[in-house]
Structure 1
Amino acid sequence: MDGSLDVSPASERVPLILIVDDDPISNLMLSEILRKDGYQTLVVGDGQAALDICQKELPDIILMDAVMPVMNGFDCCRSIHIWYGDSCPPILMITGLNDTESVERAYQAGAIDYVTKPFHWAVLRGRVRQAISANLAHQKLKQALGKERLLLQELKIANHKLHQLASTDGLTSIANRRVFDERLESEWKRLCREQSPLGLILIDIDCFKAYNDTYGHLNGDKCLCQVANIIHTCVRRPADVAARYGGEEFALILPNTDLEGVICVGKAVQKELQKLAIPHASSIVKPFVTVSIGVVAVLPTLSSSPQTLISWADQALYDAKNNGRNCVVAFTSSVING
């Protein structure tokens, strides 16, 4: 059976073998036989020259003599492994040394096999062929794994973006109503177990229809974004949630917060909005944008639901509007003027 390499025109490239030996006769014979088998060959006479070649192009396999001037095969083999790590081509030691210590040194340096001179040519050709095939298969596997890792990373990024799109209000970039509903439900259950208060704030921009009529919907959208940003900056803790509740309404979920704390956050929103002083010439409240705020804080129980909390906050918001707007009203109906 012919043991030569099958190199068809469709092959991507012909494997390159680097022969490193200071024996010119051995080099000539090796190069001649391996070329007949269809390989490309490069020949150098010492380890340093081999390192120089590898810096320009990594071969598919290196046939390395152990005893050479300038740099011996053991040191060269070790250096190539240090430099190239997993990309290191297989190194086959070819040498006249046949003692146990030399064999062990070769394997310790990183050689995959050890062949002694004089060569048994059929054995040498077979080992070269197997080493190249295994190395090519390994490189293809690495490429496939690299592509898979890249695809997984791209998928992770895409999923993250999808999650952001699904959980973020497209205009204001804060949490959307779906996230608000989910978080309120989960915090209700958690704080029901812990018996800790849950606060909720509903915020409505005063006279917002008049604002749109006066300044146009593009400016109305800008106003919504400015108000949303103020609301978002008024929450400090990771568990707090600022969300767009709908239209010109916003909501704040404040876990582990009593009524006093919830009122404090509501007043902070008013204060920051007054500092910004977004002009609103058609408002019946102030010449700048104001908000009405309803707040509530309760100890969640199994006998009630988050919808109860929403209805109470909504009632407080309704009372705030009826009390002249631009104020914070708790569900107890006590008014804290803005």
Structure 2
Amino acid sequence: MTTISPEEPSLVLIVDDEPFIRMQLRLSLQCEGYRTVEAQDGREALTIFQQRRPDIVLLDAIMPDMDGFDCCTQLQCLDSSKYTPILMITGLEDQESVDRAFEVGAIDYVTKPIHWPVLRQRVKRLIQQSQLQRQLEAANQELQRLVTIDELTQVANRRRFEEYCAQEWQRMAREQLPLSLILCDVDFFKSYNDTYGHQAGDRCLQAIAKAIKNTVKRPADLVARYGGEEFAVILPQTDAEGALVLAQTICYAVSTLAIPHNNSQVSSYVSISAGIATEIPHPNSDFQAIIAAADRALYQAKTEGRDRVQLYNKQSSPTITVYPFPP
């Protein structure tokens, strides 16, 4: 039986130049079950913050060298501080000091002499709010991932494909760099489904998607299920030659899966056809142009007999046929 270990207690960073105040804070917070770490000035606090990633910072406003206001400002510049609340502890109650504390990023403040029940409640509330914010962000990210991922194949879906294609088309237009697109279609897939059943067809698509994804290495490249048995690969900053090599490698990777297909008219195993288009986009042009070109190349590949790569080239001949070869 698997046991679930309890969550580690929250870590509180105490920043104060007075040892007695730090001791009081440490003992009070440890009695509430928190872990603590201490810094005696702002500079030490910045170092410890990056090393330990506390769940909350209790920050004295008035300290020598770097005061709490400057320290708070610098903490806000750290990426890891996004969800870490800062509670300012100050002996100043004038409106200007309070306004400044919030301006530099403090979430709340307490005044000296410290009212301990108030401090404990505020620490508890701020940590809870921070944890809820993190959970909400994680849930939103997961929701966004689910919205853009094809459930069956776990690659990007059509919606994400079009968003990313439009984004990279505009970026390549600004930088005047090439964008390539590969459209892939599983050869005789309807016949495969009719022969082996739809569950086998789903497993076939999953295996092909994984093979394509494993072949496409660069983080900027996107593999997507374009629809049905069609897949697409968006390749920013890639010329026709580079896209051609990758398309051949993808075709070879699918052939090495050796998925039996007795009713295929081109091979005893599942194969794919691929169409490639490459464009240096014009400013204010539509990304649908490259999709149409790749689709024409894919149609030509299927017309020519399937199990091959077709490169669209509007400058010379409309298409160039290349048979896949082992890389």
Q: So what's the TM-score if we normalise by structure 1?
A: 0.62
Structure 1 residues 136 and 295: alpha-carbon distance in aligned structure 2, compared to 1, 3 A threshold: same
User: Which of 171, 179, 196 lines up with 1:198 in the alignment?
Assistant: 179
Say whether 1:157 aligns with 2:173: no
Amino acid at match of 2:121: K
Aligned to 1:39: none
Structure 1 contact 205–292 (Cα < 8 Å) conserved: yes
- Structure 1, residues 182-223: CA drift from partner, whole Å, max 9, x if none? 111111111111111010000000011111111111111111
C-alpha RMSD of matched pairs (Å)? 2.7
User: Which of 92, 99, 123 lines up with 1:142 in the alignment?
Assistant: 123
Q: Distance in 2 between matches of 1:162 and 1:191?
A: 29
1:137 Cα offset (Å): 1.6
Instruction: Say which SS state the counterpart of residue 276 (structure 1) adopts.
Output: coil
Say whether 1:252 aligns with 2:238: no
Structure 1 residues 141 and 321: alpha-carbon distance in aligned structure 2, compared to 1, 3 A threshold: same
Say whether 1:275 aligns with 2:261: no
Q: Distance in 2 between matches of 1:174 and 1:166?
A: 11
More helix by share: 1
Structure 1 residues 277 and 78: alpha-carbon distance in aligned structure 2, compared to 1, 3 A threshold: same
Q: Distance in 2 between matches of 1:146 and 1:250?
A: 45
Structure 2 unmatched runs, 5+ = 1-18, 33-111, 314-318
Say whether 1:335 aligns with 2:316: no
1:308 Cα offset (Å): 0.9
Structure 2 contact 173–280 (Cα < 8 Å) conserved: yes
Structure 2 contact 29–120 (Cα < 8 Å) conserved: no
Instruction: Say which SS state the counterpart of residue 294 (structure 1) adopts.
Output: strand
Identity of aligned residues (%): 41
User: Which of 245, 266, 290 lines up with 2:247 in the alignment?
Assistant: 266
- Across the two proteins, how many residue pairs are aligned to each other? 226
Say whether 1:312 aligns with 2:298: no
Structure 1 contact 80–88 (Cα < 8 Å) conserved: no
Q: Distance in 2 between matches of 1:302 and 1:195?
A: 9
Mark the structure with the bigger radius of gyration: 1
Say whether 1:323 aligns with 2:304: yes
Say whether 1:179 aligns with 2:160: yes
Structure 1 unmatched runs, 5+ = 1-74, 90-130
Q: Distance in 2 between matches of 1:227 and 1:85?
A: 59
Q: Distance in 2 between matches of 1:220 and 1:244?
A: 14
Q: Distance in 1 between matches of 2:181 and 2:22?
A: 66
Structure 2 contact 251–272 (Cα < 8 Å) conserved: yes
- Structure 1, residues 4-30: CA drift from partner, whole Å, max 9, x if none? xxxxxxxxxxxxxxxxxxxxxxxxxxx
- Structure 1, residues 60-90: CA drift from partner, whole Å, max 9, x if none? xxxxxxxxxxxxxxx9x6895485474479x
1:254 Cα offset (Å): 0.4
Q: Distance in 2 between matches of 1:225 and 1:244?
A: 10
- Structure 1, residues 199-250: CA drift from partner, whole Å, max 9, x if none? 0000000011111111111111111111111111121111111000000000
Amino acid at match of 1:140: Q
Structure 1 contact 200–252 (Cα < 8 Å) conserved: yes
Aligned to 1:242: 223
Say whether 1:167 aligns with 2:153: no
Q: So what's the TM-score if we normalise by structure 2?
A: 0.64
